[in-house]
């Protein structure tokens, strides 16, 4: 089974994404911040990362930058619910740093699963 790492500080978002992805047959590992997420990625054989951008401690942009520097072939989807009322600008920054897809929360289920399938095919 392919493993997906989901990084988000919101427990409800983690639970929702875990349930959705597990129903599709993926193994899901979760982390509540970027520091924990990077550690999980290093310790596990992860096929895809879905990360929030706004988190306490190590934010998603820092997480994406670190992972892409250390693991240039990492497949990453960024998600965000806001950043100073302009989440799209922050999502564009995530794509410029290495995320292959970026979505505004709440994420459309079909769009997210399509991106996941594309990156894992």
End-to-end CA distance of the chain: 13
pLDDT in tens, 11-24: 999 999 999 999 99
Number of independent structural domains in the chain: 1
pLDDT at 114: 98
pLDDT in tens, 44-69: 999 999 999 988 889 899 999 999 99
CA 27-11-8 angle, to 5 degrees, is 70
Strands of the chain (E only): list them: 3-7, 27-31, 48-52, 76-80, 101-104
Full domain range(s) for residue 66: 3-120
Gap between the Cα atoms of 111 and 2, Å rounded: 19
CA nearest neighbour of 91 among 64, 115, 111: 64
> Looking at residue 17, what DSSP letter applies?
H
pLDDT in tens, 63-117: 999 999 999 999 999 999 865 556 677 788 889 999 999 999 889 999 999 999 9
Gap between the Cα atoms of 10 and 24, Å rounded: 22
pLDDT in tens, 29-49: 999 999 999 999 999 999 999
At 8, list the tokens: 């988000």
The pTM score is: 0.94
- Which of helix, strand or coil describes residue 66? helix
Where residue 110 sits, what CATH number does that domain have? 3.40.50.2300
């Amino acid at each position: 089974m392919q493993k997906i790492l989901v990084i988000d500080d919101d427990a409800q978002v983690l639970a929702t994404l875990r349930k959705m992805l597990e129903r599709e047959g993926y193994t899901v590992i979760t982390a509540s911040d970027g520091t924990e997420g990077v550690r999980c990625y290093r310790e596990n054989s992860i096929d895809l990362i879905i990360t929030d951008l706004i988190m306490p401690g190590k934010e998603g942009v820092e997480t994406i930058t670190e992972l892409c520097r250390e693991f240039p072939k990492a497949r990453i989807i960024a998600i965000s619910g806001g950043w100073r009322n302009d989440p799209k600008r922050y999502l564009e920054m995530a794509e410029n740093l290495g995320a292959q897809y970026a979505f505004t929360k709440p994420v459309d289920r079909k769009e997210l699963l399509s991106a996941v399938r594309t990156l894992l095919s």
